Structure formats: structure tokens, C-alpha cells
Structure 1
Amino acid sequence: MEARGCSPNLVTYNTLIDAYAKSGRAHEALRLLESIPLRPNLVIFNSVVNAFCRERRLKEAETVFDKVRLAGLVPDSITYNTLVHGWCLEGNVHRALALHSKMAARDGLVPNVVTYTSLIAAVCKSGNLRKAVELFDKMRERRLRPNGVTYTALIDGFCKQGNIEEAYSLLLEMTNSGFSPCVITYNVLINGWCREGRMAGSICPRKVSPLIS
């Protein structure tokens, strides 16, 4: 490209970095970032953060995150959401919640639906149902509409705590909000109902019976 008199621009570099990210070559993405003769923009930094998160190398992703400010840039919601989601998948709820708080307090950013869903699922998995409900309520307070995955994550949390009635109420709210429960949603409820020693079909015979027949 350069041999023909064409100099790569930031779009070119970001395309290359994104390709490295998708092919599991985060370190090569980082090396390219560090060798760019131009001033990297936030899009490029976000691509490298995502590259490390995809490989579950969260500490290295945070190192790149710290370099964002050193470059005179401010992390945006994509930067934070990528890291929060990564820490949730890693099972580090404490770090995910810390970043969630930091993005609002320090940079005035609001997590998106995917991030809230990741947090709710991770917090439920850790057994902190109270925090999960708090996040769910905060999400709606910010006028972010929970999706089917969000509802299923919280329903699973209630079921694991043995609160089947509340889980079923949430299922009704989910359907009233226009979301059709999937097989996973019903399986979560059925498993919870069975753990409580009740008949799964009694949850809602017309909807559940076809799934367990």
C-alpha cells in the first residue's frame, strides 16, 4: 500500500486491529496500536480492549483501558461496556460492579441493556439476588427496557433462591411487556419448580406442558 504512495489512515489501522481481534490475535492488535505513526482514536483503543476481552485476558484489557486516558482520550460507553461484560463472563462480579459504578460517577456514562443483563446474570450466579433486583430496578429507572435475556437471568436468580412465585410473576411481566419466553426461560422455571417438589405443569399447563411432554 505504502509502496504505491498510499499512506494508511486510522480507518485502515482499525480494520486491521479488528481483524486481529476476531482471529484471536490480541497481542498483534496491541503491537499494531503501539506502532501506529498517527495519534490513535478511541475506536482503535476500543477494538484492542475488545480483542483482549474476547480472549478472556481481562487484566491486559484493563491495561489498554488505562492507556486511553494517557493518550488524552476519555473512555466511552463502548469501552466500559466491553470491560464490564468481559469481567461478568470471567465471574469477577466485584470488578464488574466497580467499573459499572465508575462509568457513571467519573465519566457520566450509562450502561446499556446488554451490560445490565450481563451484570444481573453474574450477580444472580453469585447468589446476590438483592443486588440483581436493585440493578433491574435501576435499569428501568433509566428508561432502559429489559429484554427477554434480562428477564430470564432474573427469573433464574429467583428460582435458585427458591422464590418460585416471584419468578412466575416476573414471567407474567415479561409476557405482558411483549416478550415471548423461550425454552430456556421455561426450563429455568421448571427446574426451580421441581427443586421445590412441585409439579412443573402447574406453572402454566398450556405453555409448559408441550415443552416437557
Structure 2
Amino acid sequence: MPDNTTVNILIDVLAKTDQLQRAYNLFHEMVDRCSIPDFYTYTIVIWSLGQKGKVDEAVELVNEMAAKGYQPEIVTYSILIDAYGKAEDWDEAMQLFERAKGMADAVIYNSIMDGAIKKGDVHASSNLFEQMEAKTCILKFKQKKKSTTF
């Protein structure tokens, strides 16, 4: 079996080309062959499941990942919040956001605000934006020229 980096790239390509089942099968084959998935392997598969609306499976994989010693990081929370938002499960998205709030960055705030807007709760989205601004998650630039390159 190829090394983790190679398998991660293959799983990522399969997932991004709408071949989630093949990506998921490769992930399980990796586990079956005693190759240990790393944090990135889990993250790729969790993201893929979330994109396809398979939130329960994504959460199950996060729990498995944690049981194997890979604690969820900010990217993990962002992926799940985004997945809950896509699944229109605002309550779960908010619960997860509250758990991750201490480490929340602009990506997590954007995910939860997107969920609030999809729910039709512009007020909540506005409040979240103010929280994000207070936490200085928004970069403030002083424009010296007529254009800014990021």
C-alpha cells in the first residue's frame, strides 16, 4: 500500500471528482490493511461526507478520529458546522459553534453565519458578525494604493 500522503491525495481527488464512495472505500481499505489514517486522511473524508450531506457519518468519523488520538481542530469544527448548515440543522450547528467558540476563526464564523442566513435569521447572522468583529477575526487594512493584493 502506498504511503499516507499518496493515499490522502488519491482520496482527496476521488472526493472532489464526485466519487465519494470510492474515496470512502479506499479509506476503509487503508484501515483494513493496518495502515493508520492520519489527521489529514480523516479530515479529507469528513469534509467529503459533509459536502454530500452525510453529517451523521461525518460526526461518527470525527468520534473515531478522536478515539484514535486525533483531537478535532478548528478545521474539523468548521467542516461540521458547514455540513450542519447545508443540512439545515441550525441547532446542531449552533451547539458545535458554541463548543468551538474559544478557537473560532473567520472561517468558522462565516460557516455559522451562512447557516443563519440560510435559516432566514439575518439578526443572528448580524450578531455573529459583531462577535467576530469584536474578536478581531476580521482583517482590517489601510489601503495605501488603489488596489490591494492578498
The normalised TM-score by structure 1 is 0.58
Instruction: Output the amino acid matched with 1:98.
Output: E
Unaligned runs of 5+ residues in structure 1 are 1-38, 182-213
Q: Root-mean-square deviation (CA), in Å?
A: 2.1
Distance 2:122 2:12 in 1: 37
Residues 1:150 and 2:111 are matched in the alignment: no
Question: Which residue of the other structure, out of 85, 108, 124, is the alignment partner of 2:69?
Answer: 108
| Per-residue CA distance 1:55-113 (angstroms, 9 max, x = gap) | 121111111111222332211110110011111222222222221222113x1212332
Unaligned runs of 5+ residues in structure 2 are 140-150
Q: How does 1:179-190 map to 2 (within 5 A)?
A: 179-180=137-138
Question: Which residue of the other structure, out of 77, 87, 91, is the alignment partner of 2:39?
Answer: 77
- The higher relative CO (CA closer than 8 Å, separation ≥ 6) is in 2
Match of 1:35 in 2: none
Residues 1:60 and 2:22 are matched in the alignment: yes
Match of 2:50 in 1: 88
Q: Percent identity?
A: 26
Aligned partner of residue 49 in structure 2, secondary structure: helix
**TM-aligned CA deviation for residue 162 of structure 1:** 4.0
Residues 1:42 and 2:4 are matched in the alignment: yes
| Per-residue CA distance 1:19-54 (angstroms, 9 max, x = gap) | xxxxxxxxxxxxxxxxxxxx5322222222112112
Aligned residues: 139
Residues 1:125 and 2:86 are matched in the alignment: yes
Deviating above 4 A after TM superposition, structure 1's stretches of 4 or more consecutive aligned residues are: none
Decide whether the 8 Å contact of 1:132 with 1:154 is kept in 2: yes
Change (3 A) 1:61 1:178: same
Decide whether the 8 Å contact of 1:81 with 1:112 is kept in 2: no
